[in-house]
Chains A and B, each alone.
Chain A
Amino acid sequence: MVTESVLQARHLGKTYHTGAIAFEALKNINLNLNKGAFAALVGPSGSGKSTLLNICGLIDDCDQGELLFDGEDLTQASQQNLTNIRRQKLGFIFQGFNLVPVMSIADNIEYPLFLADMPVKQRKKQVAEMIERVGLEDLSHRLPDQISGGQKQRVAIARALVKKPHLVIADEPTANLDTATATSVIDLMHGMCQEFNATFIIATHDDRMSSRCDTEIRLLDGALI
Chain B
Amino acid sequence: MKWLILAYSNVLRNKRRTFITILIAAVGVTSILVGGGFANFTYEGLREMAARDSGHLIMAHPSYFDKEEEMQMQYGLSDYQQLSQSMASDREIRYVLPRIQFSGLVSNGEKSSIFIGTGVDPAGEFKVKGPFLTMVSGSVLSKRETADNPMVVIGQKMAKSMNVKKGDYLTLMSTTTEGSLNALDVTVQGVMTTGVPDMDSRALYVNVRTAQELLQTDKVSTLSIYLRNTEDTDKYRDMLSTQYPDYAWKTWLQKAFYYIGVKGIYDRIFGLLGIVILVMVFFSISNTVSMSVMERTREIGTLRAMGTYQWEVNRGFTLEGLVIGTIGSVAGALLGFFISMLFMLLELQMPPPPGRSEGYPLAIDIPLDFYGIAIVLTIVVCMLAAWLSARKASAKSIVEALTHV
On A, residues with C-beta under 8 Å from B are 54, 57, 59-60, 79-80, 83-84, 86-88, 90, 92, 94, 96, 98, 100-103, 111-112, 114-115, 159
6 other A-B residue contacts (CB within 8 Å) besides A83-B309, A90-B307: A59-B402, A83-B308, A102-B10, A102-B13, A114-B2, A115-B306
- Provide the residues of chain B in CB contact with A83, threshold 8 Å: 304, 307-309
The smallest beta-carbon distance between B400 and chain A, in angstroms, is 10
List 13 A–B pairs whose Cβ atoms lie within 8 Å, in order of A's numbering: A59-B398, A60-B399, A80-B309, A86-B307, A87-B307, A87-B308, A98-B298, A100-B299, A100-B303, A101-B13, A103-B6, A103-B9, A115-B307
Asked whether B305 is an interface residue with its Cβ less than 8 Å from the other chain, the reply is yes
Interface-centre pick from A84, A96, A111, A114 (highest chain B CB count, 10 A):
A111
B108 interfacial by beta-carbon distance below 8 Å: no
- Give B residues with C-beta under 8 Å from A: 2, 6, 9-10, 12-13, 298-299, 302-310, 397-399, 402
**B residues in contact with A96, CB < 8 Å:** 298
**Chain B residue, CB-CB nearest to A116:** B307
**Interchain CA distance A101-B307 in the complex, whole Å:** 18
Q: How many angstroms between the C-alpha atoms of A87 and B307 in the bound complex?
A: 4
In the complex, A90 Cα to B302 Cα: how many Å? Answer: 13
Closest to B5 in A: A107
Docked complex Cα distance between A86 and B398 (Å): 12
* A79 vs B398: C-alpha distance when bound (angstroms): 11
**How far is the CB of B396 from the nearest CB of chain A, in Å?**
12
Cβ-defined partner of B305 (8 Å) among A57, A80, A114: A57
Is the pair B9, A112 in contact by a Cβ cutoff of 8 Å?
Answer: no
Closest 4 CB pairs of A and B: A87-B307, A102-B9, A59-B398, A98-B302
Minimum distance in angstroms from A207 CB to a CB of chain B: 25
In the complex formed, the residue of A with least CB distance to B398 is A59
Closest residue of A by beta carbon distance from B302? A98
Task: Return the chain A residue nearest B403 by Cβ.
Answer: A50
A96 to B301, CA, bound (A): 13
Interface centre among B10, B12, B305 (most CB of A within 10 A): B305
A92 engages B306 (CB within 8 Å): yes
B143 to chain A, nearest CB (A): 76
Task: Tell me how far the C-beta of B199 lies from the nearest C-beta in chain A, rounded to whole angstroms.
Answer: 67
Q: A54-B399, A59-B399 are in contact. Are A98 and B307 (CB under 8 A)?
A: no
User: How far apart are the CA atoms of A96 and B308 in the complex, in Å?
Assistant: 19
Residues of chain B within 8 A (CB-CB) of A100 are 299, 302-303
Most B C-beta atoms less than 10 A away, residue of A57, A86, A102, A114? A102
Question: Given the complex of chains A and B, what is the CA–CA distance between A101 and B303 in angstroms?
Answer: 12
Contact in complex: A102, B6 (CB < 8 Å)? yes
Q: Chain A residue with minimal CB distance to B7? A: A102
Q: Contact: A98 with B399, CB < 8 Å? A: no
Contact B398 A115 (CB under 8 A): no
Contacts of B9 on A, CB cut-off 8 Å? 102-103
Q: How far is the CA of A111 from the CA of B399 in the complex (A)?
A: 20
Decide: B398 and A111 in contact? CB cutoff 8 A.
no
Contact A102 B12 (CB under 8 A): yes
CB closest residue in chain A, given B2:
A114
Minimum C-beta distance from B296 to chain A (A): 9
